Amino acid sequence: MVKRVGGGEAMVVRNDLDVPVNAVLRIQRPVNVAGIGNGAIQRTVPAHSQVRIALLRKRKAGFPMMYRHSFSYRLHYSPEPGALAVSGPAYELPWRGGPFRISQGAGGDFSHDSPRGRYAVDIAMPRGTPIVAARDGTVIEVHDNQAGRWPQASGNFVRVRHEDGTESAYLHLQRGSVVVKPGQLVGTGTLLARSGNTGRSTGPHLHFVVQKAHGEDRVSIPFRFSRPVESLPNFALKE
């Protein structure tokens, strides 16, 4: 959005997502404009925040300031809000098709606020989207016969254990769509199932989480995707 500030104009980006984004402002054909450098300005905008990324002012008072501008965005997803890098192996995107967007990130108030799901990510996508292994491993558990919200909050799911002992889980899958079995070795990109809307789900999406053993239970751990998740909404709201 563009806000008038004194004799200049502030370029402001609002991020309503649960994860940070990298916003790029490009100024073209500037006339009597100061404060733009080479014409491209990049800023990281933390989750649920509003950031002024530029303040444009007149080079010469008394003369009009004219320009064209455009915004673009790229998601810098890391499960730790505000962090742009996570150590450890990179996970490939666990689906085919898209592009899709993250609908709930790490620490989301709705359901990502427990030790098991603290660093989980929800990706909104249509029912029936192919879900694939994000990393090599062995299938250790599947559930494939749940039709609705009950009995399991996870709905239908596939769990894969990796060579370092960590596990990735793919939740809310479509009933009857799981095509792998416990004990099966899977490589990155192997088809596991189809996305759905089963379990504690408010809409069709994939819940993806990486976990490790913790006593008798599991806890989620930070991870990173190998590339950005695209197709963000446009947050450059005009007033």
Q: How is residue 70 written in tokens?
A: 């455009």
Q: Would strands 167-173 and 156-161 be described as parallel, antiparallel, or unpaired?
A: antiparallel
**Rounded Cα gap, residues 147 and 102, in angstroms:** 24
Q: What is the mean pLDDT of residues 162-182?
A: 97
pLDDT band at 202 (very low <50, low <70, confident <90, very high): confident
- Residue 96 clears pLDDT 60, i.e. is over it: yes
Residue with tokens 């709905």: 155
Q: pLDDT tens digits, residue range 45-69?
A: 877 788 888 888 888 888 888 888 7
**Contact criterion met (CB below 8 Å) for 130 and 123:** no
- Residue 149 clears pLDDT 70, i.e. is over it: yes
Q: How is residue 122 written in tokens?
A: 């929800």
pLDDT band at 15 (very low <50, low <70, confident <90, very high): confident
Q: Which residues partner with 72 through β-bridges?
A: 24
Handedness of CA 170, 174, 180, 181 (dihedral sign): positive
pLDDT band at 108 (very low <50, low <70, confident <90, very high): low
Q: Is 129 helix (H, G, I), strand (E, B) or coil?
A: coil
**Contact criterion met (CB below 8 Å) for 100 and 94:** no
Q: What is the mean pLDDT of residues 131-144?
A: 98
- Residue 38 clears pLDDT 70, i.e. is over it: no
Domain boundaries, the chain: 2-75, 90-225
Task: Identify the pLDDT of residue 86.
Answer: 53
Residue with tokens 């889980």: 169
The residue among 216, 214, 194, 195 whose CA lies nearest residue 205 is 195
Task: Identify the pLDDT of residue 90.
Answer: 87
Q: How is residue 39 written in tokens?
A: 């014409």
DSSP conformation letters of 25-51: EEEEEEESEES-TTSEEEEEE-TTEEE
**Cβ-Cβ contacts under 8 Å for 135 (sequence gap 6 or more):** 89, 91, 92, 160, 162, 168, 188
* CATH number given to 90-225: 2.70.70.10
- Residue 83 clears pLDDT 60, i.e. is over it: no
- Residue 231 clears pLDDT 60, i.e. is over it: no
**Rounded Cα gap, residues 181 and 186, in angstroms:** 10
**Rounded Cα gap, residues 69 and 58, in angstroms:** 16
Mean pLDDT over each residue of the chain, to the nearest integer: 82
What proportion of the chain, given as a percentage, has pLDDT over 70?
82
- Residue 82 clears pLDDT 50, i.e. is over it: no
